[in-house]
Amino acid sequence: EVQLQESGPGLVKPSQSLSLTCSVTGYSITSNYWGWIRKFPGNKMEWMGYISYSGSTSYNPSLKSRISITRDTSKNQFFLQLNSVTTEDTATYYCARFTDTVAFDYWGQGVMVTVSS
């Protein structure tokens, strides 16, 4: 069974970087696509970006140059880094898998990240 699990700090200071890890079991990240989605307080959801089976990436332009998604295939993990965070980056962060239809069929449990001094 495909399982995803996010991990990382729950509190980040403004202007610092947010770094999260998504650990995948039951499926290789060298197949299909792997993305990050966040849900803000108030329920708005935002797709942040993805990394493909080949390692190519795509990002939401709203995040401009602040975001980076990388991977470690030997550990079957992929990573999110979001730079220069502000309080507006406070959200629950999810990692998820999607296929060619771009429907997110497997999700992690999510990790709540608060940006506060």
Q: State the amino acid at position 104 in one-letter form.
A: F
Residue 16: exposure state from Cβ atoms within 10 A (0-12, 13-18, ≥19) = middle
The answer to the question of residue 109 lying near another protein (CB under 8 A) is: yes
Q: Which run of H or E residues covers position 48? A: strand 45-52
Q: Smallest distance, Å, CB 48 to another protein? A: 9
Q: What end-to-end distance do the CA atoms of the chain give, in Å?
A: 39
Of 73 and 109, nearer to another protein (C-beta) is 109
Determine, following the binding rule CB under 8 A, whether residue 103 of this chain makes contact with another protein.
yes
CA-to-CA dists, residue 22 to 14, 30, 42, 90, 117, angstroms: 23, 14, 24, 18, 25
Q: Which segment (13-21, 68-76, 83-91, 100-108) binds another protein by CB under 8 A?
A: 100-108
Is residue 62 at the binding interface for another protein, with CB under 8 A as the rule?
yes
* Closer by beta carbon to another protein, 43 or else 117: 43
Interface with another protein by CB under 8 A: which residues? 43-47, 58, 60-62, 94, 98, 101-105, 107-110
